[in-house]
Structure 1
Amino acid sequence: MKELDTNIRFTHKSLVEKSKAGDRNSQYKLYELYVDAMYNIGLRYLRIKEDAEDIVQESFVDAFRNLHTFKYESTFGAWLKRIVINKSINHLKVKRLALANMDDHDHHLTDEEETVAELPLALEKIKTGIQKLPLGYQQIINLYLLEGYDHIEIGEVLGITTSTSKSQYHRAKKKLVQIINAL
């Protein structure tokens, strides 16, 4: 299995290097390898098929245009994923879809936290619950739980403080548990 992983990494590195040199066939191969995953990420944030398609296309154009800055500090896929997420969030900002105002919700943090991971629920129920959250809560849940960003990174991406990210996450998580329990 390690040999397969090494071969995949080598193949992708080879494709990246050839793409850096301007080889259109290698760029197309990288596109084919990653387009579906990047579309799913864009769709998860934007929830509109056409917007996700546009963001993915723009992300690939930017990635190939700036490929010379890719230094293998992460995988190509992780680098591209970050581009897609940032573009998706910026697209939402342009549409003026702000984070849910914390004062509009009367959900408060308690010492007894319930976590989604502790609940024996089907994945579909959780996905449905996430889709029913206000957009700002969805963003925080997606970035923290699904994408693995920490609160400092979320703050940078969304242009909010780390403490706002933490409190939004806790409120989103609590609201998600309420939604799931009502399903």
Structure 2
Amino acid sequence: MEAIYVDKHYNLVVECKQGSKKAHYELYKLYSKAMLNTAFRIVDNLNEAEDVLQEAFLDAFARIKDFRQETTFGVWLKQIVVHRSINLLRKRKMDLVDISDEQIENLADDDQAEDDELIYKVTQIKEAMKLLPDGYRLVLSLYLLEGYDHEEIGQILNISENTSRTQFLRAKRKLIELLKQKGIVS
């Protein structure tokens, strides 16, 4: 027997399955900002992230009857967004930017000098991450920023869990090496 996970938006999902356009809109309002941020962190282009978001919601709503509530709607939708974002990257074969500016925006405005130094360091980390090979950046981003574990990353990227762990460790070592070269870490 399959486990069914009931989340706080269960009724909206049920209404969507029954064809309610209002429920579609409510789910969109609930999840669109977070999913746009996820797509943007992966594709690093707002217009493309918006396209990924729209396509992901269209896909999710088209397949909503297949959603069996084995997880939350948000987790299911995030998987769709990540897959669509990765597919877009594969099509354009360009670099990822893995760290968003959200961390900077959430800082307290207590000490401007500390804020400026932190902004500088975040910028340097972003630049160093751009120098990592695509596979390293992708695994690092999915693990650290999106919160996936290695088993999930393996499923998403169609690699083994051990390959994900290895890529992550190599990416972390390479990033630290690059940051040491720039004098960001000692």
TM range (shorter): 0.7 to 0.9
Distance 1:160 1:82 in 2: 16
- Written as runs of structure 1 = structure 2, the 5 A alignment for 1:1-183 is 9-10=7-8, 12-97=9-94, 125=121, 129-130=125-126, 132-133=128-129, 134=132, 135-181=134-180, 182=182, 183=184
- Corresponding residue for residue 113 of structure 1: none
Go from structure 1 to structure 2 and tell me whether the alpha carbon gap of 1:48 and 1:131 turns closer, same or farther (over 3 Å shift).
Answer: farther
> Letter of the aligned partner of 2:140 in structure 1?
I
Q: 5+ residue gaps in structure 1?
A: 1-8, 100-120
- Corresponding residue for residue 115 of structure 1: none
Distance 1:96 1:43 in 2: 16
Go from structure 1 to structure 2 and tell me whether the alpha carbon gap of 1:95 and 1:178 turns closer, same or farther (over 3 Å shift).
Answer: same
Distance 1:80 1:90 in 2: 15
Cα deviation for residue 123 of structure 1 reads 8.9
> Letter of the aligned partner of 1:33 in structure 2?
L
Q: 5+ residue gaps in structure 2?
A: 1-6, 97-116
Paired residues, what number?
A: 153
Go from structure 1 to structure 2 and tell me whether the alpha carbon gap of 1:48 and 1:13 turns closer, same or farther (over 3 Å shift).
Answer: same
Is the CA contact (8 Å cut-off) linking 1:46 and 1:88 kept in structure 2?
yes
Distance 1:29 1:39 in 2: 16
Is the CA contact (8 Å cut-off) linking 1:141 and 1:172 kept in structure 2?
yes
Cα deviation for residue 90 of structure 1 reads 1.3
> Letter of the aligned partner of 1:167 in structure 2?
T
Go from structure 1 to structure 2 and tell me whether the alpha carbon gap of 1:124 and 1:144 turns closer, same or farther (over 3 Å shift).
Answer: farther
Is the CA contact (8 Å cut-off) linking 2:38 and 2:146 kept in structure 1?
no
Distance 2:61 2:68 in 1: 13
Go from structure 1 to structure 2 and tell me whether the alpha carbon gap of 1:60 and 1:173 turns closer, same or farther (over 3 Å shift).
Answer: same
Identity across the alignment (%): 41
How does the TM-score come out when normalised to structure 1? 0.72
Structure 2 residue matching 1:74: 3-state secondary structure: coil
Is the CA contact (8 Å cut-off) linking 1:131 and 1:138 kept in structure 2?
no
Go from structure 1 to structure 2 and tell me whether the alpha carbon gap of 1:128 and 1:53 turns closer, same or farther (over 3 Å shift).
Answer: farther
Cα deviation for residue 67 of structure 1 reads 0.5
Go from structure 1 to structure 2 and tell me whether the alpha carbon gap of 1:92 and 1:51 turns closer, same or farther (over 3 Å shift).
Answer: same
Go from structure 1 to structure 2 and tell me whether the alpha carbon gap of 1:20 and 1:138 turns closer, same or farther (over 3 Å shift).
Answer: same
- Corresponding residue for residue 109 of structure 1: none
Distance 1:13 1:127 in 2: 40
Cα deviation for residue 91 of structure 1 reads 1.2
How does the TM-score come out when normalised to structure 2? 0.71
